[in-house]
Amino acid sequence: MRQMQPPQGLPFVKMHGAGNDFVILDSRGRQPVTTPALAAALGDRHRGVGFDQLAEIRDAEGADFMLDFWNNDGSRAGACGNASRCVADLVMAGLGRDSVRFRTARGTLAATRREDGLVSVNMGAPILDWDDVPLAEPCDLLHLPIPGDPAAVGMGNPHCVFFVDDAEAIDLAHEGATIEHHPLFPRATNVEYASLSGPDRLRMRVWERGTGITLACGSGACATAVAAHLRGLTGRHVVLDLDGGTLEIDWRDDGVWMTGPTARVFDGWLAPEFLAAHA
């Protein structure tokens, strides 16, 4: 058997939170390496590694780290709650701590590890102004002029939330792809379908902007919980059952906290030839 050579190339970590999966690159101490071409190549589940989003860790003044997010089509994402929880878990383990503060495009956020091992992240206050979501024109965010009477909530990225009798019955591939590029959303939107399954409990399915159907979406869960409370369907603490697992959302005075599981799946190295081909 040929002796294995020491790995060369760019190291990465593969993690998931409730089935929402990520490639994580640690660029602390160096310049960021992700480009649209590299993100799209890495996101290909046949020719790359495959992910819902890519998270790149960077140095930050006044915080433990900074995060940049990319979708698997090579576009940028403004927020990613489950990736934030996964990276926070990774960094907390490395620092030997149960809390961290980090920066994203939304500002400085906080994450903690609970005694039960679940990781919580404060996703900040929801965006409830039409021009900040953003929408193309002023309208009632809780009742958009779109068939199905959805609501709009911003969580660092735009969300269009439909409340339906049965989220399982929705043709998510067709409906999600259609609504993602609705003209009311000039920057496109994530799309969520949710149905009430019990007191303060929702069944939710999601189509993510720039990615497609995913097993979970943290910012989408936050947006759905906020919309559900504002519609009078739930309280401010909501449990959401997604295709990949369960997330807890707690809309507090200091922001929308999301709690759920994380898993480190494997560590790997991107080959120099792959990096050179997709620089």
Our answer to whether residue 80 is catalytic in this structure is yes
The phi, psi pair for 237, rounded to 5°, reads -110, 115
DSSP assignment of 227-260 = HHHHTTSS-SEEEEEETTEEEEEEEETTEEEEEE
160: annotated active-site residue: no
- Supply φ then ψ for residue 229, to 5 degrees: -65, -45
Indicate which residue of 86, 160, 217, 222 is catalytic. 217
Q: Which is nearest to 205 in space by CA: 230, 174, 182, 235?
A: 174
List, in sequence order, every beta strand (DSSP E) within the chain: 10-17, 20-26, 53-58, 65-71, 76-77, 99-104, 107-113, 119-122, 151-154, 158-163, 190-198, 201-208, 212-214, 237-242, 245-252, 255-260, 263-270
Contact of 224 with 251, CB cutoff 8 Å: no
* Active centre residues (catalytic): 80, 217
